[in-house]
């Protein structure tokens, strides 16, 4: 099971400890979409806005409890639920080191929140949230 992460779950960031023990392997990766830094201190990806977002694609065992952990962290209730903070979807991510694409789960902005996120969020230059918060 693969997940693409782009914010607080990146290596060295504040929530990595929640999944660290479950990671089998990981690689730097890219996904289509624009990243917005929110006033509350974390990012959100809007797929429809083009651009490229940098992150990591991480592999977990099929029996890993990581989905439940991440669903709680990302306030994901169910597909299309109006109270979702993030929507969990499957997308292809580009893994330059492997010279291929991998299908991974990723948490993105739900359609009903996009207008609000564009209004309050700051587009992250180059789609690299780690660099954005470290600069």
pLDDT string in tens for the chain (135-residue length) = 899 999 999 999 999 999 999 999 999 999 999 999 999 999 999 998 889 999 999 999 887 899 999 999 999 999 999 999 999 999 999 999 999 999 999 999 999 999 999 999 999 999 999 999 998
Distance of CA 13 to the CA centre of its chain: 13
pLDDT for the residue numbered 54: 97
Q: What is the CATH number of the domain that holds 26?
A: 3.10.490.10
What is the rounded CA–CA span in Å between residue 110 and residue 84? 7
In which domain, by residue range, is 105 found?
Answer: 2-134
Give me the pLDDT at residue 62, please. Answer: 81
Q: Residue 52 in contact with residue 75, Cβ under 8 Å? A: no
- Predicted pLDDT at 39: 96
* Domain count of the fold of the chain: 1
Tell me if the pTM is above 0.85: yes
What integer pLDDT is reported at residue 50 of this predicted model?
A: 85
- What the block records as the tokens of 4 is 């693409």
Query: pLDDT value at position 6?
Result: 97
The Cα-based distances of 16 to 8, 48, 66 in angstroms read: 7, 27, 12
* pLDDT on residue 133: 92
């Amino acid at each position: 099971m693969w997940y693409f992460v782009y914010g607080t779950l990146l290596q060295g960031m504040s929530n990595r400890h929640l999944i660290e023990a479950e990671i089998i392997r990981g690689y730097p990766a890219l996904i289509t979409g624009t990243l917005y830094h929110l006033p509350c201190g974390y990012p959100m990806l809007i797929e429809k806005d083009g651009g490229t977002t940098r992150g990591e694609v991480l592999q977990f065992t099929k029996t890993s409890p990581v989905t439940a952990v991440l669903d709680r962290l990302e306030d994901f209730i169910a597909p299309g639920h109006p109270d979702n903070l993030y929507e969990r979807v499957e997308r292809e991510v580009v893994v330059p080191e492997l010279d291929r694409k991998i299908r991974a789960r990723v948490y993105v902005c739900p359609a009903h929140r996009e207008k609000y996120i564009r209004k309050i969020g700051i587009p992250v230059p180059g789609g690299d949230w780690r660099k954005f918060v470290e600069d």
